[in-house]
Structure 1
Amino acid sequence: MAVAILHVIAALLFGFLGTISLTACFQATILDSRGPPLSPGAQIYFPGSEGFANATSRWSAAVKPGFNAIVRVATEDDVRHTIRYANAHNRPFLAISGGHGTNAALNLVQAGIGIWMRGMNSVKIVDDGTAAIIEGGTDSGEVTAALWPQGKQTMTLGCDCPGFIAPVLGGGHGWLQGRYGLMADNLISARMVLANGTAITVSETDHADLFWAIRGAGHNFGIVVSVKYRIYDRTAGQDQWAAAGFTFTHDKLEKVFAKANEWLHRPTRPEELTHYPTFVNNPDIDPDRPVIVFWIFWQGSTIPAEYTTPMHALNPVSVMTSVTDLAGMNTHLGAAYGLPACQKGYSHLLYPISLMEWYVSNLRAVLEIFGSMPRAFSSSVMLLEAYATNRVSEIPNDTTAYPDRDGKLLLSPLMTYAANASLDETAVTISKKIRYTLLNGTGLPLNAYVNYAYGDESLQEIYGHEPWRLEKLRKLKKEFDPHGRFNFYAPIK
């Protein structure tokens, strides 16, 4: 009873004080004196404090894991001790970094402990400039910003504000994947804390099977506190990126994507080229249907005319052009710090599908679905991502747990709407209709990128249709997380 009263008093005090040093009071309140004190740099936040609000604010307001406490960790040992405390008290726990995950399983965390990683966000270049040690709370944009002034680049996301580590664990797509492969392909080793609170290093030589698993299914196996990650010197011509965004009315859809299919079907695709169309609502141009904004990106100072000339010939409504650097690339899609894609407070939903080419009649049907959506969803965007896949497809398919190296396109609606739980079901219904419209008649199985997966997909659709993949993952899950402590994102069962 005395311990329970202490907890109540502590919770009330934290509601007024907001934060408190874990060194001073964490042992006496949360750890019940059964574990060592955490580091001086760690903090704890309870509901009602500003720190708690900041830590639990998510990119999508429709995703609502529930926490009774947030631990802002500063060291690997902080993570270990917090997990051990949670296990001892049968509390769920969840690592938080960028807060961008939208998988429905996140909502299963209730009365949990959030392990906020943002206090661990350093990037240090090592190994004579061939690698970097990146801590688990670092944003993707922070990695690019740390490396670029040093003449370095590496695989990061097409958005600044998500955490860097979680996308690595699911594969990780981005601008440089044609040159360097997926984010997961650039992982040299990871320092991670397992479900029992022990910390290990995983690599090709240490716990090699687990290293295989965390490169594609890593959300299931532990909290990654740091990684050693490949980085690269920028060579001549790699400092600049050229961009051209063509806006077309809907009647140009068939011709635009017929041309894009020609690029996809070439036996040799340039690793410098990404094309990234979107469907967006712009009532000033067309009040009834979405318009097509078709971006062409090229790593270099000028996009070759063979890609831009055919688009100009289709008489776009407008053309936007720029030359920027890697950090500036994310501004074109509103995905840099401070721009709409990084803003919190709205509800967002993703519903991905991988395809081999642009199935034009299906795209036409999806555009019509977008045009008929209720006004509440008018800020939504259809993402049609066509990154270069040269290096991705060169890596043998069994090298990592990432299951979809043959896929050429990543498509998903990005449903965006005011935070309103009454709209969530409608958003899911529309998204599901879009997904199966895109899949219709292709003859392909559904492959859903785990980092975008909604949560109603089968394990085969997320982790691969070859039976051996899921067998191996289930065996490793049983070995490293037998009690399902990491079952809050696309869980393997």
Structure 2
Amino acid sequence: MKHASQLVPWAFACALAVVNCSSLLQRLQSELSPRLSGSGLLSETAPARWSEFDAPNPGVVVNVATESDVAATVRYCTAHDIPFLAHNGGNGWATTFHLDKDGVMINLAALNHVTFNADKSQATIGGGSNISNAIDHAYAAGTLVQTGNCNCVGVLGAILGGGYGNLMGTYGFGVDNVLSLRVVTADGRLRDVTAASDPDLFWGLRGAGPNFGIVTAATVKSYPAAAAEDMQAWTGNLVYTSDQLEDVVQAIQDLVLTPDMVIFLYFLADATTGVPAVIAAPFLYKGDAAAGRAAFAGLYAVGPVADTTAIVPYDQWNVASDALCTRGSFKPGWAAGFQDMVPATWRAVWDAYVAFQRLPGAASSGVLLEAYDLTKARSVPAGSAAFPNRNVRFNAFAIPWYNDSSLDARAAAFGGAARDLLRATSGLPRNQTYVNFAHGDEPLTEVYGDGVPRLQAIKERYDPGNVFDEWFDIRPGGTSNTSKASYYY
């Protein structure tokens, strides 16, 4: 916010002109709009967000058309001490965002280009692209990109946190595939950042990116398909009744994942009946029904009551989770990383889930788990990027999903209880949580590990004024629940 000495003359000028002093839009139309690439880029209507829980509430939205618009907006907001936040997918659920009517949202949606080099071994992805858009372009080009598993999430937001995804057993984490980044830093400068040009900033962006700038584009590795099977996988849902839960959990614990295998576990309600079910979703890259049944034999031995698995093309791998992309409602999240699937723990999580899910308006709530083969990911040196959790075998999160904010306290009780249960039997020496899944109350070492001092030193160099501070504020003495300016995907 402005210092008092700055506010007084502004208020006096407003009074003399008999204008509405609360109109940030008026001010930006006069002072910022002429610096942008076109007219009509300012609005008071924010793009739809995945969750209304603790949602940013900007006074003005700048719908940028170019990277230069991002830089101009950052320069203007920083010079005038106006909080700002960048938006792409709008799926971040952390409780660390507090943009209000005195702030600006930078909507990156128009920066959604996806292009490839001549041999399709590199993809350049705009900061406004979601995962569905990137996969569609890659599929059309006959190449693959390591992205996340949810179509509506921003590609680069997911990657900047670490970047789990269906292909990571083969190609590693998203951060391991980044070649260069186009970044607007706190000084409003648009930088090309590589391991050679600035190893510290390149390191920090890959795991803690939102603390250092707005990434307008990234060039990442892509993998041309040599055969038709390279663009397909065997996947789908295996559905179980609640009394089979312990056997399903044990089967997942006993799985020996290979680089082509992924396993997901869901607690979700049937869309028609509202009755919650246990759903395992196996994924086998280049697989077919016979190979899939063999690879996931332990889950088939439990006896699923329904099986929707099939061979699916690359551009359809994530379709089964599209229902989870529905905008609106309240969807806070609580997550934990852990090493072992403990049946008794998961029964307790199930009981907490069912108790909340049965409340009026909470039927869509869920619990999700994902696990990948980590051989490739762990072959990369642990300190090669700011992402700290290469050792974590499983990640899970509880999402209370409800329509009435009066359930906030009960949602927190459920989510917190589920997280505590998973932490209690995590098998880790300390709590470790994937930053893109984190709630917002975690200590910095839980989401950034031992890299916090180095991140703080890089912060002091590139953002000494702490412009980007809402996404797990990494300043010495900072906490994850402060608010000034930042960005999210």
TM surpasses 0.5 = yes
Letter in 2 for 1:471: P
Change in Cα spacing, 1:8 to 1:177, as seen in structure 2 (3 Å) is: farther
The change in CA–CA distance for 1:407 and 1:6 in structure 2 (over 3 A counts) is farther
2:249 is the alignment partner of 1:248: no
1:392 aligns with 2:377: yes
Counting only pairs closer than 5 Å after superposition, residues 303-382 of structure 1 correspond to structure 2 as 303=289, 304=291, 305-332=293-320, 334-335=321-322, 340-373=323-356, 374-375=358-359, 376-382=361-367
> TM-score, normalised on structure 2?
0.88
TM-score, normalised to structure 1, is: 0.87
Bigger shift: residues 104-113 or 62-71: 104-113
Give how far 1:285 is off: 8.2
Supply the distance in 1 between the matched residues of 2:172 and 2:233 (Cα, whole angstroms). 18
In structure 2, runs of 5+ residues without a counterpart are: 1-11, 476-489
**Correspondence for 2:448 among 438, 463, 474:** 463
How far did residue 7 of structure 1 move? Answer: 10
Contact 1:202 / 1:210 at 8 angstroms: preserved in 2?
Answer: yes
Per-residue CA shift, 1:88-114, capped at 9, x if unaligned?
A: 221101111111111111125551111
CA contact (8 A) 1:42 1:71 kept: no
Change (3 A) 1:43 1:240: same
Q: Which residue of 1 aligns with 2:143?
A: 152
Letter in 2 for 1:359: V
SS in 2 for 1:377: coil
Q: Which residue of 1 aligns with 2:396?
A: 411
Question: Equivalents in 1 of 2:469, 2:383: separation in Å?
Answer: 24
Q: Is the 8 A contact 1:249 1:286 kept in 2?
A: no
**Which position in structure 1 is the counterpart of 2:43?**
45
Match of 2:408 in 1: 424
The aligned counterpart of 2:267 is 279
Q: Once the 2 structures are TM-superposed, how far is the Cα of residue 286 of structure 1 from its aligned partner?
A: 9.4
Shift of 1:387: 2.5
Q: Secondary structure at the match of 1:260?
A: helix
Aligned partners of 2:63 and 2:131: how far apart in 1? 19
Deviation string, structure 1 residues 132-190 (Cα, Å, up to 9, x no partner):
22111111111111111111001111111111111111111111111111111111010
Partner amino acid for 2:234?
A
Kept in 2: contact 1:42–1:74 (CA 8 A): no
Sort the Cα spacing of 1:286 and 1:103 in 2 relative to 1 into closer, same or farther, 3 A. Answer: closer
Alignment CA distance shift 1:312-1:76 (3 Å): closer
Contact 2:24 2:60 in 1 (8 A): no
Q: Which residue of 1 aligns with 2:435?
A: 450
Distance 1:131 1:442, change over 3 A: closer
Q: Is the 8 A contact 2:14 2:21 kept in 1?
A: no
Of residues 451, 463, 477, the one that matches 2:459 is 477
Cα shift at 1:129: 2.0
Q: What CA distance in whole angstroms lies between the structure 2 residues aligned with 1:456 and 1:371?
A: 25
**Aligned residue number for residue 51 of structure 2:** 60
Q: Deviations over 1:185-243 (max 9, x none)?
A: 11101010111211211111011111001111111000011111111112332121112
In structure 2, the residue matched to 1:293 is 279
**The residue matched to 1:104 in structure 2 has which SS?**
coil
Distance 2:281 2:341 in 1: 15
Give the SS at the match of 1:475.
helix
Residues 177 and 392 in structure 1, CA contact (< 8 A), matched pair in contact too: yes
Separation in structure 1 between the aligned mates of residue 181 and residue 237 of structure 2, nearest angstrom: 38
Query: SS in structure 1 opposite 2:309?
Result: strand
Single out whichever of 447-456 and 482-491 deviates more from structure 2.
Answer: 482-491
1:428 deviates by 1.9
Identity of aligned residues (%): 29
Partner of residue 80 from structure 1, selected from 71, 87, 99: 71
1:231 is aligned to 222
Structure 1 counterpart of 2:418? 434
- Residue 403 and residue 14 in structure 1: after superposition, are their counterparts in 2 closer, same or farther (change >3 A)? closer
| Aligned-residue offset at 1:8 | 4.4
Q: Distance in 1 between matches of 2:296 and 2:453?
A: 46
Deviates more, 1:64-73 or 1:120-129: 120-129
Q: Which amino acid counterpart does residue 388 of structure 1 have in structure 2?
A: D
What displacement does 1:127 show? 5.4
> Which structure 1 residue ranges, 5 or more long, are not aligned?
16-24, 47-51
Counterpart Cα distance in 2 of 1:224 and 1:105: 19
Q: What is the CA-CA distance between 1:308 and the residue it aligns to?
A: 4.3
2:107 aligned residue: 116
Counterpart of 1:429 in structure 2: which amino acid? A
1:83 and 1:283 mapped to 2: Cα distance? Answer: 43
> In the TM superposition, what whole-angstrom CA distance separates every residue of 1:417-436 from its partner, at most 9, and x where no partner exists?
11x33222321221111011
Amino acid in the other structure paired with 1:238:
D
Superposition RMSD in Å: 2.5
Task: Provide the residue aligned with 2:486 in structure 1.
Answer: none
Contact kept, 8 Å, 2:128 with 2:154, in 1: the verdict is yes
Do the aligned partners of 1:276 and 1:385 also contact (CA within 8 Å) in 2?
A: yes
Deviations 1:275-311 (A, max 9, x none): 1111123498895xx4211111111241423234443
Residues 480 and 152 of structure 1: is their aligned pair in 2 closer, same or farther, counting only changes over 3 Å?
same
> How many angstroms apart in 2 are the aligned matches of 1:395 and 1:154?
18
Which deviates more from structure 2 when the two are superposed, residues 353-362 or residues 189-198?
353-362
Name the aligned partner's letter for residue 72 of structure 1.
N
What SS is found at the alignment partner of 2:308?
Answer: strand
> Cα distance 1:402–1:5, how it changes in 2: closer, same or farther (>3 A)?
farther
* Shift in CA distance, 438/43, structure 1 to aligned 2, threshold 3 Å: same
Aligned partners of 1:355 and 1:105: how far apart in 2? 24
Question: CA separation of 1:365/1:111 partners in 2, compared to 1, >3 Å: closer, same or farther?
Answer: same
State how far apart, in whole Å, the 1-side matches of 2:274 and 2:221 are.
45
Contact 2:183 2:215 in 1 (8 A): yes
2:3 aligned partner: none
Query: 1:442: how far off?
Result: 3.7
